[in-house]
Amino acid sequence: MEAVVVDAGSKLLKAGFAVPDQEPSLIIPTKMKSVPADGQSADGEYEEVFVDPVVRGFIKDWDAMEDLLHHVLYTCIGWEIGNEGQILFTDPLLTPKTVREQLVQLMFETFNISGFYASEQAVLSLYAVGRISGCTVDIGHGKIDIAPVCEGAVQHIASKRFEIGGIDLTKLLAQELHQSNPQINLDLSIVEKLKEQYACCAEDQSVYENLQKTSQVESHTLPDGQVITIRRERYTVGEALFQPSILGMDEYGIVEQLVRSISSVSSENLRQLLENTVVCGGTATMPGFEERFQKEAALCSSSIRPSLVKAPEYMPENLIKNSAWMGGAILAKVVFPQNQHITKAEYDETGPTIVHKKCF
């Protein structure tokens, strides 16, 4: 039986058997419905509560995560109780040791798996484009991770994590739309869809400033029949990545953050790293993002400019969105056949701390 690869993000969980060059067979929301034990609220009405097992990239609600994984592995993937297989998880940048230990403990003691491995998302995203060294800029739902990778190892001293992501851009768009459409209250789930449909990046800062005055008005009909107007707001979402002051942050833009973060890496590796930069995450598919990234790269403080790696032609179109999972599928084809993973016997002998010795 093929190993299963799981990439559990703040917004989406991606899972499937490790088949390189293919997209994950399962992509579902990570958010879960939770119903009170008696199924009713205080007034006797049925009440739905939503819980987020993963917050800003890290598992926070372990009971909910166990329920979600049980659904994924047994109902969706098709594992049978008593005949569980091997599993590879993707690790966000700077995952706390306690989270890694609790995950491996959950998988061996609750799910009775036969083998476990975990690898950092930055490394896996590079594997997906055929690299072992380079930089990754991962714009997730709840965080942005910037990480240099040398020979398959993340250089943590030069990595940086920002606790902003797609959800914060959605909230920004909600604020902007409310200002221009004060009569309409928009649910965040609606704003998320509007962001995916309309948000884009201006060519540069001067073009953005001009568009604030001249951009054309578009009308959008909401599911309830109300009509809102969208104009300059569509550009503000993308601009916030290059001008974080729009989000109220006193930080450099995403390209300048990249070159400054890895400036501590030895100079002989700098060119190889910057010229093999991978951007990933759903936000990176925004129209105009890659062009703006390259334009900002030409203006950055580094004499060596970041250059984006193009996805190999044989890889699926959604590589940018699913790069960590796809890299995990590639790695699973190596670590499990070559017995580099954690076995049940090793876990039983050493305990959860073995994850730090065998998964790096």
- Residue 311 domain flag: no
Asked if 18 and 88 sit in the same domain, the reply is yes
Task: Name the residue range of residue 345's domain.
Answer: 4-128+316-358
Asked if 227 and 354 sit in the same domain, the reply is no
pLDDT for 215: 83
When pLDDT is averaged across residues 336-353 and rounded to a whole number, the result is: 97
pLDDT digits (tens, 9 = 90+) for 296-308: 999 998 888 999 9
Report the distance separating Cα 51 and Cα 14, nearest Å. 18
- Residue 139 domain flag: yes
CA 328 centroid distance within chain: 14
Assess whether pLDDT exceeds 80 at residue 228: yes
- Chain length of the chain: 360
pLDDT digits (tens, 9 = 90+) for 262-308: 888 877 788 899 999 999 999 999 999 999 999 999 999 888 899 99
- Residue 341 domain flag: yes
Assess whether pLDDT exceeds 80 at residue 39: no
Residue 209: Cβ within 10 Å count: 13
Instruction: Give the angle 203-205-207 at the CA atoms, nearest 5°.
Output: 55
pLDDT digits (tens, 9 = 90+) for 75-110: 999 999 999 999 999 999 999 999 999 999 999 999
Question: Domain holding 180: CATH number?
Answer: 3.90.640.10
Assess whether pLDDT exceeds 70 at residue 29: yes
Assess whether pLDDT exceeds 80 at residue 40: no
Considering only 10-19, 87-96, 210-219, 351-360, which range has the smallest mean pLDDT? 210-219
Enter the DSSP assignment of 309: P
pLDDT for 360: 77
Helix axes 233-242, 205-214, angle to 10 degrees: 160
Structure tokens at 29: 């929301």
Asked if 121 and 185 sit in the same domain, the reply is no
Asked if 104 and 157 sit in the same domain, the reply is no
Asked if 144 and 259 sit in the same domain, the reply is yes
pLDDT for 45: 63
Asked if 95 and 121 sit in the same domain, the reply is yes
Question: Domain holding 350: CATH number?
Answer: 3.30.420.40
Asked if 222 and 123 sit in the same domain, the reply is no
Asked if 64 and 12 sit in the same domain, the reply is yes
pLDDT for 35: 66
Asked if 152 and 290 sit in the same domain, the reply is yes
Asked if 12 and 110 sit in the same domain, the reply is yes
Residue 294: Cβ within 10 Å count: 14
Asked if 342 and 289 sit in the same domain, the reply is no
Coil, strand or helix: which one is 297? Answer: helix
Confidence of residue 235 (pLDDT cuts 50, 70, 90): very high
- Residue 54 domain flag: yes
Query: Which amino acid appears at position 67 of this protein?
Result: D
Domain count, the chain: 3
Assess whether pLDDT exceeds 60 at residue 38: no
- Residue 307 domain flag: no
Asked if 36 and 114 sit in the same domain, the reply is yes
